[in-house]
Amino acid sequence: MKTLTGILFALLIATTMNAEDAKYVKAMEKNIAMMDSAKAETAGTVYQDAYNAFERIAAANPKEWLPLYYQSFCEVMIGLQQKENPKKDECLDKAEALISKADSIKPDQSEIYVMKSFVTSMKISVDPQNRGQQLGMRSSILLGKAMQLDPENPRSYFLRGQGLVYTPEQFGGGKEKAIPVLEKALEKFAKFKPSSSIMPHWGETRCKAALDECRKPE
Amino acid sequence: MKRLIFLLFISCAPFSLWAQTKITGTVTDKQGKPVPGANVFIKDTYDGASSDANGKFSFTTDEKGEKILSVTFLGFQPSDQKINLDGKEITCKATLKEAVSELKTVTISAGSFEASDERKITILRPLDIVTTAGAAGDIYGAIQTLPGTGVVGEKEGLYVRGGDASETKTFIDGLLVDNPYFSSVPDVPQRGRFSPFLFKGTSFSSGGYSAQYGQAMSSALILETQDMPEQTAINAGFMSVGGSIGKTNRWKNTSFGVYAGYINLTPYYAIFKQQRDWSRAPQSGNGSLTFRHKTSQTGILKAFVNYAYSDLALAFPDTTDPSLQRKRNFSLGNNNVFTNATYKEIIGRKWTLFTAASFSYNKDKISIDTNKILSTNHLFQSRIMLSRPFGELSTIRFGWEFQKPVSATSYNQYSTPFDETYHAGYAEADFYVTEKLVTRFGGRFENSAALNKNNIAPRASLAYKTGEFSQVSFAYGDFFQAPDKSYLTTYPSSGFAFEKATHYILNFQHVDEKQTFRIEGYYKKYSDLFKLNTIFFANGEAVIPGNSGNGYAKGFELFWRDKKTLKYGDYWISYSFLDTKRNYHNYPVEATPTFAAKHTASVVWKYFLPKWNTFAGFTYVYATGRPYFNPNNPVFLGDRTPDYHNLSLNFNYLTSIKKNFTVLVFSIGNVLGIDQVFTYRYSHDGSRREAIGPAATRTFFAAIFINIGSQKDDSDKYN
């Protein structure tokens, strides 16, 4: 009897735990889909809704890094829609804090370094004259680290290419330089299989758009 | 067994058993305006919703019983309220309080100009210093474009609001810099010793500053050194007058930097004619080491060592010769060491500890004709400060400072030693009554063994935010300073006291991201200044030294900076009005001192040409004439020099050489070649005079700076 109780009890815990997991994955999938559906005209509220949903999931699952990762991504997107620079900075600071928290939960993730670099390059875009040199270097180091951790992660190549588009030719940037890197990123996107349904998979469409923009004759 | 099955049953189906609860409501801010996009949810569950454009929200939950409803939104403090979920619809109202943010919080601004790398909206950034025309990459040069500073071309130093150069002190990481400029040369102003690239923040205070700083009656220039460098890199510079090379190594928690520079003006002086009669053009070298170590998540240890030498010789007119034709030969050899180490750490949950120590050494070997002057200064100092926040925004800090200067000056065979032990303690609180109103009260206690005197200096400031971007600020304080050590050693055991200045400053400013407007008025009262009183007897006269000098300075200043009107353009305009008189040192009567001009104005203009990747800029400085000593005029300091005009241009071209960030710099001082007269020097008998102007009519400077990131782009490896 005692063993039976023990087995049943273990089973009970296992099923409830799986239920928790399934609930987590389902909620994540739903919100990632919502985020992916964001269109230019609805982006404002969609990213805020997704951000809020990820915040709730993160609060209930303090050991998971992915909700924080997506929260950070949404916050960058919200930041980009702000009109005033101090407001943009407020969002980007929050995004940076979130991704740092994700990093402390799960260190050495290529995706986390990509996000860190993404946040940093968006900070540059707020005030390129004053921040370009120092933050540009930091953003580049972070991408290097992301590539080192996972050479097959297409998003690091995409961001590298994107960065080159906005770097003046005098500093080794420009559209010409960006094309091969973005092409490489697209190749990697084609081969890329996220290890689970809730792992990051964004960027391919943006990457294509960036490449088309580069190829457009001036 | 039955019980077990029951247990299993309820664990699988709890949700369908209980009814859902609907929660609706609105989220508003303190003013009652709706807050859209806020996150409203039941704590530790996924159940929640965002507020809509009208601040309304609605969602259902399967949770049951007493729970916490949380509301969060960026820029606001999270709010929690208890709710009871029993299936009946709940309507809630949530009022969010705005989070404390730097942008919305008032800061004490009277008397201070800050340049910082950090997010804060500051008036000047470190890059501004390097790109200001006429500053020639010198921190002090850039500070001179700010209101409150005077244009004194014949001598180095910051002359702030009617104060002489000795009333401004430079602090690096809280530690006094004894010799911030290269050693003085007759009629040739010297640059600051330290490169602006060493510092992440510069704060220039023209009065009313914190009780943390003392022994400066007029002004404090507070420099904060860089933290860890981003990565390993090499910096090289080639200038028309020399070169420099530096390398920083960065490891995970440690960095180490080496720097060496050499300057020789011989080739430059051979090409461009100089007004001074150089027999050995200045040459100088310096080397520095910087060390940074993160001792923990929050702790950082910084150390800095700088060594410099310089050598030069020139001839200047002998004023004892009525024709002013005879020259005296001046030569200078200088050795200077500055070291400091600081450690900062958060202790426990609230306290921040800052400790610092510094040793500096300076030796000037001067010869004037056959006379030899040897002066050596040692300064050891240390500082400790504890601070902690209280309430939401307020801070309290207190600290102790110790300085031990030991020096000796010998003139031929005569030597005068000087030895001082100085202690100071201070306490200060920044108390926020509300986010919009801050008061600062503090005091400083000082003790000087050389004077055998104590003083207590009260300081107080207040600032009130009048609008989103504007505020008014007031500052008051007593500032003490020991008389110059040359007087203390010339008149030993005469029983001197501290010199004293009292400041009253009223400031209004409007600072948004792109534009700054600032107006400041002040009154400064000097008392107990060092003075030589001449007493006449029937059969002669005697000079009695004492603290009977006094004076005042009052005026107002305007500052306007605009980065908005011109795309890629940026300019600032400063204007200072100064009314000052004093009776000190050897003055026979009260007079406006030689370093004070009534009106000073400057315009700094910078323009970025994206197509050329070039910053072009000019600086124009205007000042009305300053008093000079004319022995033939019965009115003491009754004459004025002609007005001063200077237009400087500079160009910074940004490029890359083999992917390494490179800046080409070219600048010209006094482009228009306007005649500048800083002062006149008379022969002793008053029969002839010579105008003292700049060392050359125009100055030219060209340089190339390369930043070699040795830890190159890792992506190349994977591309």
**B365-400 pLDDT per residue, tens:** 999 999 999 999 999 999 999 999 998 889 999 999
pLDDT at B519 over 90: yes
Query: What is the pLDDT at residue B9?
Result: 46
Rounded to whole angstroms, the Cα distance separating B166 from B519 reads: 26
Residue recorded with tokens 């004459």: B639
Q: What is the DSSP letter of A55?
A: H
Q: CA B223, B389, B445: angle at the middle one, nearest 5?
A: 60
Instruction: Please tell me if residue B44 touches chain A, with a CB cutoff of 8 Å.
Output: yes
Mutation to test the A interface, candidates B56, B718, B719, most A Cβ within 10 Å: B718
Residue B8: the pLDDT is: 47
Measure CB to CB from residue A148 to each of B37, B74, B714 and give the nearest one: B714
Question: Hey, is the C-beta of B16 within 8 angstroms of any chain A C-beta?
Answer: no
Q: What is the pLDDT of residue B14?
A: 44
Q: Are B503 and B480 in contact (CB under 8 A)?
A: no
Query: Within chain B, how many helices (H) and strands (E) appear?
Result: 7, 39
Bigger pLDDT: B288 vs A174: B288
**Angle CA B446–B449–B450, to nearest 5:** 115
Q: CB B551: neighbour CB atoms within 10 A?
A: 22
Q: Which residues contact A74 (CB under 8 A, 6 or more apart)?
A: A35, A47, A48, A50, A51, A54
d(CA B161, CA B650): 28
Say yes or no: B159 contacts chain A, CB-CB below 8 A: no
Q: How many CB pairs under 8 A join A and B?
A: 102
Q: What is the ipTM of this complex?
A: 0.86
Q: Which residue in the set B75, B711, B715 is minimally distant from A90, CB to CB?
A: B75
- Range list for CATH 2.40.170.20 in chain B: 112-718
Q: Which residues contact B8 (CB under 8 A, 6 or more apart)?
A: A8, A12
Residues 6+ apart with CB under 8 A from A36: A202
pLDDT digits (tens, 9 = 90+) for A64-96: 999 999 999 999 999 999 988 888 999 999 999
| Measured torsion, CA atoms of residues B50, B56, B57, B58, in degrees rounded to the nearest 10 | -160
Residue B705, chain A, CB below 8 Å: the answer is no
pLDDT of B503 reads 96
Looking at 3.40.50.300, 1.25.40.10, 3.40.50.150, 3.40.605.10, the CATH number of the domain A42-129 comes to 1.25.40.10
Residues of A in contact with B14 (CB under 8 A): none
Q: What value does the mean pLDDT take over residues B473-497?
A: 90
* pLDDT tops 90 at residue A53: yes
**Do residues A166 and A140 lie in contact, with contact meaning Cβ atoms separated by under 8 Å?**
no
Residue ranges in chain A assigned as alpha helix (H)? 2-36, 43-60, 66-80, 85-105, 110-126, 128-149, 154-166, 175-191, 204-215
For residue A20, what are the contacts with CB-CB under 8 A and spacing of at least 6?
Answer: none
Determine what percent of chain B is predicted with pLDDT higher than 70.
94
| Mean local confidence (pLDDT), B166-192 | 91
Of B83, B81, B77, the residue nearest B64 (C-alpha): B83
**Nearest residue of B to residue A51, measured between CA atoms:** B39
Residue A166 dihedral angles phi and psi, to the nearest 5°: -90, 0
Give start-end residues of each CATH 2.60.40.10 domain in chain B.
Answer: 17-96
Q: Which residues of B touch A48 (CB under 8 A)?
A: 37, 50
DSSP string, B7-37: HHHHHH-HHHHSPPEEEEEEEEETTS-B-TT
* Per-residue pLDDT, B108: 78
Average pLDDT, chain B: 88
Domain with CATH 1.25.40.10 in chain A: 42-129
pLDDT on residue B12: 44
CATH of domain B17-96: 2.60.40.10
Alpha carbon distance B238, B703 (integer Å): 5
> Where does residue B205 rank: exposed (0-12), middle (13-18), buried (19+ CB within 10 A)?
buried
Q: Helix A110-126 to helix A154-166 angle, to the nearest 10 degrees?
A: 20
Contact A141 B45 (CB under 8 A): no
Of the partner residues B12, B75, B659, the one whose CB lies closest to the CB of residue A172: B659
pLDDT tens digits for range A109-156: 999 999 999 999 999 998 887 777 778 888 888 999 999 999 999 999
CB contact residues (below 8 A), chain B span 45-104, against chain A: 45-50, 72, 74-75, 101, 103
C-alpha pair distances (Å), B36 with each of A45, A75, A91, B468: 9, 15, 16, 22
Position A1 scores a pLDDT of: 56
CATH number for the domain running over B112-718 = 2.40.170.20
B39, A57: Cβ pair inside 8 Å? no
Task: Compare all CA atoms of chain A with the CA of B70 and give the residue at the minimum distance.
Answer: A56
